[in-house]
Amino acid sequence: MKSEVRVRFAPSPTGFMHLGNIRTALINYLFAHKKDGKFVVRIEDTDVARNISETGYEILDDLKWLGLKYNEGPLVGGEFGPYYQSKRKDIYCKNLDDLISSQKVYRCFCSVEILDRKRKEQAAQGKPPRYDRTCLHLSDNHIKQKLAAGLPFIWRFKINNDQVLDIKDMARGTIRFDMKNFSDFALTRQDGSFTFMFANFVDDWLMQISHVIRGEDHLSNTAMQAALFDAFAVQIPTFWHLPMLCSPDGKKMSKRDFGFSLEDLKKDGFLPQAICNYLGIVGGSFEKEIQNIWELSQNYDFDNIHATGPIKFDIEKLTWINHKWIEDIAIEKLVEMVKPFLYEQIPASKNIDDEKLAYLLSKVKTDLKVLKDAGKVLEFYFQTPKVDVKELEEQFTKDNAKIILDLIKKHLDECDKTDFFLDVLKKEGKEKGLKVKEIFWTLRYLLTGTFQGVGVHDLFEMLEDNEIKKRLGV
């Protein structure tokens, strides 16, 4: 076992950051911090045709926003760089040459169309899709002819079908792979670039990665990478194949599921602390649920990990955690965080200063589940709500609604004396058989357009006297 713990997060710039790869990055980060190790980031950008970003800066920005600071990687450097696979081609070529010299690989001239046809034929026969080693048996003369004709080819690794390879998994213990169940796999593409399988192995080896923590969807890949570690006679890392996050109905999540994409959560005003907090405790058992990243790194028990099934994503739990984090934010900081959401939803909010906004937010802070809620809960302050007496009648009966409204109109000129005004309404309302709740809910409805929400005393403080009188004088 290597003396220093070194883990890595190796995303491909071929799509958006989602909760699955964020959780992978987070667990790697927490493990490195718990074990006083190094957290490495590298960008696996060899599949040029699928890359949506040349630099992967969006991924790096997301990691920064989440607070997942890495020790080595793009922008910060390190002794094992470059940290972009696209800049490591010479390294891969050298190691491929070693495999060619030891005759552990061979050229495969089969076209994509031929391979696709073979897979369909195997599927029709109920067989697993495996390469049939057609090109392994080509003579030297046939290979020379194909090369002379300019036919494209890839390099395939020759699996030793008689071999059984073991790996250590932190959750599952020893996992044994019988290599007769695996087929020869590609190390290069026809354009000369290197596949994930080979580049990933070379980088983990040369960057001295001690633990590979990734999703369990990579478990079959691990068998083939174990074969590469064995072919070079170098120490294989310890693995941990994380259980997958799935939708509430148990299906694989996709960008159609709200909350799966980090961009979805950002747009709704979820905090990075809350996202990391949720992903850090989901699927586990923690006495204290609200934890920052440092607390998670200390409290996570990496020495007693158990294999579990898929973990269902719970947006309600994430929202609750986010609400708790918002409650803990200093009001001055919350002002700055809320502004982009509030300004977009209510342009008129740009006309009030930070001090006034801080005051308003202090009254509604406990009602914010996400930052985007600020526009909804403060809308009443910036524009007069639409109210309908019929809604009052449906809520309290027609007779009671009339009694309440008549009482409010009777004492409307005294509404600037808040305590006196409310006490009078409660006293006279009680005499007429009304409940305090009915009176207060009516006042809130007339002032905000909703029956529940900000406290009535707070509303009388937040709104100007003339505005209160105007809204209550229905």
Per-residue pLDDT of the chain (474 residues; tens, 9 = 90+): 447 999 999 998 877 788 999 999 999 999 999 999 999 999 998 876 554 455 568 999 999 999 999 999 999 999 999 999 999 999 999 999 999 999 999 999 999 999 999 999 999 998 888 999 999 999 999 999 999 999 999 999 999 999 999 999 999 999 999 999 999 999 999 999 999 999 999 999 999 999 999 999 999 999 999 999 999 999 999 999 999 999 888 888 877 777 788 999 999 999 999 999 999 999 888 889 999 999 999 999 999 998 888 999 999 999 999 999 999 999 999 999 999 999 999 999 999 999 999 999 999 999 999 999 999 999 999 999 999 999 999 999 999 999 999 999 999 999 999 999 999 999 999 999 999 999 999 999 999 999 999 999 999 999 999 999 999 986
Instruction: Examine the domain organization and report whether 399 and 445 are in the same domain.
Output: yes
Instruction: Examine the domain organization and report whether 444 and 461 are in the same domain.
Output: yes
Question: For the chain, what is the total number of helices (H) and then of strands (E)?
Answer: 20, 11
For 165, the enclosing helix (H) or strand (E) is strand 164-169
Instruction: Examine the domain organization and report whether 362 and 392 are in the same domain.
Output: no
Instruction: Examine the domain organization and report whether 391 and 464 are in the same domain.
Output: yes
Phi-psi region of 173 (alpha: psi -120 to 50; beta: other; left: phi over 0): left
Q: How many CA atoms lie within 13 A of 338 on its CB side?
A: 30
Instruction: Examine the domain organization and report whether 360 and 412 are in the same domain.
Output: no
Instruction: Examine the domain organization and report whether 374 and 427 are in the same domain.
Output: no
Instruction: Examine the domain organization and report whether 210 and 350 are in the same domain.
Output: no
**Does residue 284 sit within a domain?**
no
The parent domain of residue 32 ranges over: 6-77+201-246
Alpha helices in 269-314 (DSSP H): 272-281, 293-299
**Does residue 145 sit within a domain?**
no
**Does residue 205 sit within a domain?**
yes
Instruction: Examine the domain organization and report whether 395 and 468 are in the same domain.
Output: yes
Looking at the 3D structure of the chain, how many domains does it have? 3
**Does residue 10 sit within a domain?**
yes
- The pLDDT of residue 322 is 98
**Residues 32-60: tens digit of each pLDDT:** 999 999 999 999 988 765 544 555 689 99
Two structure tokens written together for 177:
């792979």
- The pLDDT of residue 454 is 92
**Does residue 339 sit within a domain?**
yes
Q: What is the CATH number of the domain that holds 211?
A: 3.40.50.620
**Does residue 441 sit within a domain?**
yes
Instruction: Examine the domain organization and report whether 388 and 463 are in the same domain.
Output: yes
CA distance 416 to 439: 17
Two structure tokens written together for 327:
């409650």
Q: Name the β-bridge partners of 173.
A: 169
Pairing of strands 164-169, 173-178: antiparallel
**Does residue 411 sit within a domain?**
yes
Find out whether 207 and 40 touch, Cβ atoms under 8 Å: yes
- The pLDDT of residue 285 is 83
- The pLDDT of residue 251 is 84
Query: Which of 219, 246, 273 is a domain's end point?
Result: 246
Instruction: Examine the domain organization and report whether 370 and 395 are in the same domain.
Output: no
For 374, the enclosing helix (H) or strand (E) is helix 373-382
CA distance 282 to 242: 12
- The pLDDT of residue 1 is 43
Q: What is the CATH number of the domain that holds 467?
A: 1.10.10
- The pLDDT of residue 50 is 52
Query: Which of 380, 413, 441 is a domain's end point?
Result: 380
Alpha helices in 300-353 (DSSP H): 315-327, 331-345
Two structure tokens written together for 354:
């930070």
Instruction: Examine the domain organization and report whether 406 and 461 are in the same domain.
Output: yes
**Does residue 278 sit within a domain?**
no
Query: Which of 360, 380, 400 is a domain's end point?
Result: 380
Instruction: Examine the domain organization and report whether 206 and 346 are in the same domain.
Output: no
